[in-house]
Structure 1
Protein backbone atom coordinates (compact mmCIF):
# COMPACT_ATOMS: atom_id res chain seq x y z
CA UNK A 1 0.00 0.00 0.00
CA UNK A 2 1.31 3.47 -0.90
CA UNK A 3 0.04 6.46 1.08
CA UNK A 4 0.24 10.02 -0.22
CA UNK A 5 -1.20 13.32 0.98
CA UNK A 6 -2.80 15.35 -1.78
CA UNK A 7 -3.22 19.03 -0.89
CA UNK A 8 -5.40 21.80 -2.27
CA UNK A 9 -4.20 24.88 -0.38
CA UNK A 10 -5.81 28.31 -0.13
CA UNK A 11 -8.56 27.98 -2.75
CA UNK A 12 -10.42 31.29 -2.62
CA UNK A 13 -14.06 31.53 -3.67
CA UNK A 14 -16.86 34.05 -3.24
CA UNK A 15 -19.92 32.50 -1.62
CA UNK A 16 -22.81 33.06 0.74
CA UNK A 17 -21.67 31.90 4.15
CA UNK A 18 -22.99 33.18 7.44
CA UNK A 19 -25.96 34.01 9.63
CA UNK A 20 -25.74 37.79 9.82
CA UNK A 21 -27.61 40.18 7.50
CA UNK A 22 -24.35 41.62 6.17
CA UNK A 23 -23.36 38.07 5.09
CA UNK A 24 -26.27 37.65 2.67
CA UNK A 25 -24.03 38.80 -0.18
CA UNK A 26 -21.20 36.51 -1.30
CA UNK A 27 -17.98 36.98 0.64
CA UNK A 28 -14.43 35.70 0.32
CA UNK A 29 -13.88 32.23 1.73
CA UNK A 30 -10.54 30.46 1.66
CA UNK A 31 -10.52 26.65 1.75
CA UNK A 32 -7.69 24.18 2.20
CA UNK A 33 -8.03 20.43 1.83
CA UNK A 34 -5.58 17.68 2.77
CA UNK A 35 -6.48 14.16 1.61
CA UNK A 36 -4.69 11.00 2.70
CA UNK A 37 -4.89 8.86 -0.40
CA UNK A 38 -4.12 5.13 -0.58
CA UNK A 39 -2.85 3.48 -3.75
CA UNK A 40 -2.24 -0.24 -4.21
CA UNK A 41 1.27 0.58 -5.46
CA UNK A 42 3.26 3.81 -5.82
CA UNK A 43 2.70 5.61 -9.12
CA UNK A 44 5.37 4.59 -11.61
CA UNK A 45 4.28 5.78 -15.05
CA UNK A 46 4.17 9.51 -14.15
CA UNK A 47 0.60 9.62 -15.48
CA UNK A 48 -2.44 11.35 -13.95
CA UNK A 49 -4.50 8.17 -14.43
CA UNK A 50 -2.48 6.56 -11.63
CA UNK A 51 -3.38 9.09 -8.96
CA UNK A 52 -6.19 11.20 -7.54
CA UNK A 53 -6.74 14.24 -9.77
CA UNK A 54 -7.48 17.15 -7.42
CA UNK A 55 -9.41 18.94 -10.17
CA UNK A 56 -12.57 17.19 -8.90
CA UNK A 57 -12.17 18.80 -5.47
CA UNK A 58 -11.61 22.26 -6.93
CA UNK A 59 -14.60 21.89 -9.25
CA UNK A 60 -16.74 20.57 -6.40
CA UNK A 61 -15.86 23.50 -4.15
CA UNK A 62 -16.69 25.94 -6.95
CA UNK A 63 -20.06 24.18 -7.41
CA UNK A 64 -20.78 24.51 -3.68
CA UNK A 65 -19.82 28.20 -3.84
CA UNK A 66 -22.20 28.74 -6.75
CA UNK A 67 -25.05 27.09 -4.82
CA UNK A 68 -27.47 28.55 -2.29
CA UNK A 69 -24.79 28.97 0.38
CA UNK A 70 -24.37 27.84 3.96
CA UNK A 71 -25.27 29.33 7.31
CA UNK A 72 -22.32 27.71 9.09
CA UNK A 73 -18.69 27.03 8.26
CA UNK A 74 -19.15 23.69 10.01
CA UNK A 75 -21.74 22.68 7.40
CA UNK A 76 -19.52 23.86 4.56
CA UNK A 77 -16.48 21.86 5.67
CA UNK A 78 -18.64 18.76 6.15
CA UNK A 79 -19.89 19.11 2.56
CA UNK A 80 -16.34 19.44 1.25
CA UNK A 81 -15.21 16.43 3.29
CA UNK A 82 -18.06 14.33 1.89
CA UNK A 83 -17.08 15.39 -1.62
CA UNK A 84 -13.52 14.18 -1.06
CA UNK A 85 -14.53 10.92 0.61
CA UNK A 86 -16.66 10.09 -2.42
CA UNK A 87 -13.41 8.93 -4.04
CA UNK A 88 -12.76 5.48 -2.52
CA UNK A 89 -8.99 6.04 -2.46
CA UNK A 90 -9.35 8.92 0.03
CA UNK A 91 -9.01 7.47 3.52
CA UNK A 92 -8.76 10.66 5.59
CA UNK A 93 -9.59 14.26 4.75
CA UNK A 94 -8.88 17.47 6.64
CA UNK A 95 -10.79 20.56 5.52
CA UNK A 96 -10.25 24.13 6.71
CA UNK A 97 -12.39 27.15 5.84
CA UNK A 98 -11.50 30.74 6.67
CA UNK A 99 -13.53 33.92 6.31
CA UNK A 100 -10.76 36.55 6.12
CA UNK A 101 -12.92 39.68 6.02
CA UNK A 102 -15.26 39.30 9.02
CA UNK A 103 -13.19 41.31 11.47
CA UNK A 104 -10.60 44.01 10.78
CA UNK A 105 -8.13 42.33 13.12
CA UNK A 106 -8.74 38.59 12.66
CA UNK A 107 -9.94 35.85 10.36
CA UNK A 108 -12.44 33.24 11.52
CA UNK A 109 -12.47 29.63 10.47
CA UNK A 110 -13.33 26.03 11.05
CA UNK A 111 -11.38 22.82 10.51
CA UNK A 112 -12.44 19.18 10.63
CA UNK A 113 -10.89 15.78 10.04
CA UNK A 114 -13.04 12.97 8.70
CA UNK A 115 -12.12 9.43 7.74
CA UNK A 116 -13.67 6.68 5.75
CA UNK A 117 -15.73 4.34 7.88
CA UNK A 118 -14.33 0.80 8.04
CA UNK A 119 -16.31 -1.84 6.22
CA UNK A 120 -18.04 -4.26 8.58
Structure 2
Protein backbone atom coordinates (compact mmCIF):
# COMPACT_ATOMS: atom_id res chain seq x y z
CA UNK A 1 0.00 0.00 0.00
CA UNK A 2 1.11 3.54 -0.72
CA UNK A 3 -0.48 6.65 0.73
CA UNK A 4 -0.80 10.07 -0.81
CA UNK A 5 -2.27 13.23 0.64
CA UNK A 6 -4.46 15.17 -1.74
CA UNK A 7 -5.03 18.80 -0.80
CA UNK A 8 -7.87 21.14 -1.59
CA UNK A 9 -6.71 24.26 0.18
CA UNK A 10 -8.30 27.65 0.65
CA UNK A 11 -11.50 27.13 -1.33
CA UNK A 12 -13.44 30.34 -0.69
CA UNK A 13 -17.19 29.82 -0.38
CA UNK A 14 -19.87 32.35 0.43
CA UNK A 15 -22.54 30.75 2.57
CA UNK A 16 -25.01 31.24 5.35
CA UNK A 17 -23.08 30.25 8.46
CA UNK A 18 -23.40 31.32 12.05
CA UNK A 19 -25.69 31.79 15.02
CA UNK A 20 -25.64 35.58 15.40
CA UNK A 21 -28.27 37.86 13.86
CA UNK A 22 -25.71 39.61 11.64
CA UNK A 23 -24.53 36.20 10.38
CA UNK A 24 -28.10 35.20 9.59
CA UNK A 25 -28.73 38.48 7.76
CA UNK A 26 -26.24 37.83 4.96
CA UNK A 27 -23.92 35.07 3.75
CA UNK A 28 -20.27 35.36 4.70
CA UNK A 29 -16.95 34.32 3.22
CA UNK A 30 -15.53 31.05 4.51
CA UNK A 31 -12.31 29.35 3.50
CA UNK A 32 -12.45 25.55 3.42
CA UNK A 33 -9.37 23.33 3.26
CA UNK A 34 -9.42 19.55 2.98
CA UNK A 35 -6.62 17.00 3.28
CA UNK A 36 -7.46 13.52 1.97
CA UNK A 37 -5.22 10.60 2.90
CA UNK A 38 -5.66 8.16 0.02
CA UNK A 39 -4.37 4.59 -0.09
CA UNK A 40 -3.51 2.81 -3.31
CA UNK A 41 -2.21 -0.73 -3.91
CA UNK A 42 0.78 0.68 -5.77
CA UNK A 43 1.95 4.05 -7.07
CA UNK A 44 -0.85 5.09 -9.43
CA UNK A 45 -0.53 5.21 -13.18
CA UNK A 46 -0.54 8.67 -14.76
CA UNK A 47 -4.31 8.64 -15.38
CA UNK A 48 -7.13 10.37 -13.54
CA UNK A 49 -9.06 7.12 -13.06
CA UNK A 50 -6.12 5.71 -11.10
CA UNK A 51 -6.45 8.29 -8.29
CA UNK A 52 -9.07 10.02 -6.19
CA UNK A 53 -10.49 12.88 -8.25
CA UNK A 54 -10.94 16.01 -6.13
CA UNK A 55 -13.41 17.68 -8.51
CA UNK A 56 -16.31 15.95 -6.74
CA UNK A 57 -15.15 17.40 -3.43
CA UNK A 58 -14.92 20.97 -4.70
CA UNK A 59 -18.34 20.73 -6.34
CA UNK A 60 -19.85 19.22 -3.18
CA UNK A 61 -18.49 22.01 -0.99
CA UNK A 62 -19.79 24.64 -3.39
CA UNK A 63 -23.21 22.92 -3.29
CA UNK A 64 -23.17 23.15 0.52
CA UNK A 65 -22.70 26.89 0.06
CA UNK A 66 -25.84 27.05 -2.06
CA UNK A 67 -27.85 25.03 0.48
CA UNK A 68 -29.54 25.92 3.72
CA UNK A 69 -28.09 28.09 6.49
CA UNK A 70 -25.64 26.21 8.72
CA UNK A 71 -25.43 27.16 12.39
CA UNK A 72 -21.95 25.95 13.33
CA UNK A 73 -18.57 25.53 11.68
CA UNK A 74 -18.45 22.11 13.33
CA UNK A 75 -21.54 21.13 11.32
CA UNK A 76 -19.96 22.41 8.11
CA UNK A 77 -16.73 20.49 8.76
CA UNK A 78 -18.64 17.28 9.52
CA UNK A 79 -20.63 17.63 6.27
CA UNK A 80 -17.45 18.10 4.22
CA UNK A 81 -15.74 15.16 5.96
CA UNK A 82 -18.74 12.91 5.27
CA UNK A 83 -18.74 13.97 1.62
CA UNK A 84 -15.03 13.20 1.28
CA UNK A 85 -15.29 9.75 2.86
CA UNK A 86 -18.44 8.73 0.99
CA UNK A 87 -17.26 9.36 -2.55
CA UNK A 88 -14.27 7.02 -2.85
CA UNK A 89 -13.26 4.02 -0.73
CA UNK A 90 -9.58 4.84 -1.27
CA UNK A 91 -9.97 7.89 0.99
CA UNK A 92 -8.77 6.50 4.31
CA UNK A 93 -8.79 9.67 6.38
CA UNK A 94 -9.87 13.27 5.96
CA UNK A 95 -9.01 16.49 7.74
CA UNK A 96 -11.25 19.51 7.18
CA UNK A 97 -10.66 23.10 8.25
CA UNK A 98 -13.10 25.97 7.90
CA UNK A 99 -12.20 29.59 8.58
CA UNK A 100 -14.62 32.52 8.77
CA UNK A 101 -12.69 35.28 7.03
CA UNK A 102 -14.56 38.42 8.07
CA UNK A 103 -15.67 37.97 11.69
CA UNK A 104 -12.84 40.07 13.15
CA UNK A 105 -10.59 42.60 11.46
CA UNK A 106 -7.48 41.09 13.04
CA UNK A 107 -8.15 37.34 13.10
CA UNK A 108 -9.88 34.47 11.36
CA UNK A 109 -12.10 32.08 13.32
CA UNK A 110 -12.10 28.40 12.47
CA UNK A 111 -12.76 24.78 13.21
CA UNK A 112 -10.93 21.61 12.23
CA UNK A 113 -11.95 17.95 12.34
CA UNK A 114 -10.25 14.69 11.43
CA UNK A 115 -12.27 11.64 10.51
CA UNK A 116 -11.29 8.16 9.40
CA UNK A 117 -13.07 5.50 7.42
CA UNK A 118 -15.40 3.44 9.58
CA UNK A 119 -15.03 5.79 12.52
CA UNK A 120 -18.05 6.23 14.72
CA UNK A 121 -19.01 9.66 15.98
TM-score normalised to structure 1 length: 0.94
**What CA RMSD, in Å, does the superposition of the two structures yield over aligned residues?**
0.9
Match in the other structure for 1:96: 97
Shift of residue 104 of structure 1?
Answer: 1.3
Shift of residue 69 of structure 1?
Answer: 2.2
The 2-side partners of 1:106 and 1:43 are apart by 40
State the Cα deviation string for residues 30-68 of structure 1 (Å, max 9, x = none): 000000001112112x11010011000000000100000
What 5-or-longer segments of structure 2 have no aligned partner? Answer: none
The 2-side partners of 1:88 and 1:51 are apart by 11
Alignment of 1:35-74 (within 5 A): 35-44=36-45, 46-74=46-74
Corresponding position: 1:4 with 2:4? yes
What 5-or-longer segments of structure 1 have no aligned partner? Answer: none
The 2-side partners of 1:31 and 1:42 are apart by 28
TM-score normalised to structure 2 length: 0.94
Shift of residue 100 of structure 1?
Answer: 1.1
State how many pairs are aligned: 117
State the Cα deviation string for residues 62-119 of structure 1 (Å, max 9, x = none): 010000021000000000000000121111100000001001111100001000127x
